[in-house]
Structure 1
Amino acid sequence: MSIKLALDGKIHDVTIARRRPHLVLLIDGEEHEVSELPGLGDGRKSMSIGGHRIDFARAVLGQRQAVRLGGRTFEIDYVDPFSDSTATGSGQDVLKAPMPGAVVFVHKQPGDAVTRGEPVVTIESMKLQTALPAPRDGVVANVLRLEGQTFEKDEIIVTLESESEKA
């Protein structure tokens, strides 16, 4: 599963590819090996990424982090996939597959009401089952993959009625 981070107004997709023997992150599809991790908390830190030592200072500000690196200060925000403030158009009207796999169980059918965070379908990928939650309150419009059907990464599995259709 990936997380999204906002840096200088641009959203970046970050996924842990491996944890051993060193942490490997996929950042926007590019691998970065992190062999020395800094400790938690604020202050001066250093880490090794791709064999290069990087010195920086970090301050935790709630959900945000301020990082001072190379004479510049960056604010990094976690992007909540369920936050209304990050919704862009119809992005909150669909449930997309985070990885290729198959549908294991359909919790909600077209016409069913859902609340944000409620499981809509359960998928399986690489022997791991994951419940995909509703991105917002609404009504299920279509279930595009049924139990046992396979899908690719980023394929739409469920759609909700759009906000304009509710009016």
Structure 2
Amino acid sequence: MKLISERTRPGKASEPWMRYGAGAAAVAATAVAGAGAVDADSAWYRSLRKPVWQPPSWAFGVVWTPLYATIAYAAGHALGTMPDRRERTRLTTSLVVNLALNAGWNWLFFGLRSPKAGLAGTLLLNVSNAQLIRRTARTDSTAARALLPYAGWCAFATALNASLVRQNKTQ
């Protein structure tokens, strides 16, 4: 069995439907795995002091849906432009690590009920985003640009998480 990052013919990582489908499946799995920990209606979360600039809870789903779509698009597009198998494997690994950190934040913050652990997780996610964009940009500037809103939202989420840590020092 060949991985999506393996070459099936010269200059092609795989058929486009396989690349984009694999990216969509990975992103969907991330969304489901992360959602398993989120309970924005819990007494614990409601008890946290939040900054006045925090978006309403419904906004997170509105924002994450297109961001996840762009991650899937960028993955499929970038893997199709990389003729080197090793670079495709590295990109696939970077993407898997990034998506694990993405889903992991929910478990650190909501699952552990720890804004501090969440902040550590989102800081790591920002480093991973920079690395993923840098690696993608080496061969596919279109896919790298598609990842910029995701990185921007994660940076905003980091600022929000840091504010929650400051405002809830006992949590």
Q: Larger % of helix: which?
A: 2
TM-score normalized with structure 2 length: 0.21
Q: Larger % of strand: which?
A: 1
Question: Which structure is richer in relative contact order (CA contacts within 8 A, separation 6 or more)?
Answer: 2
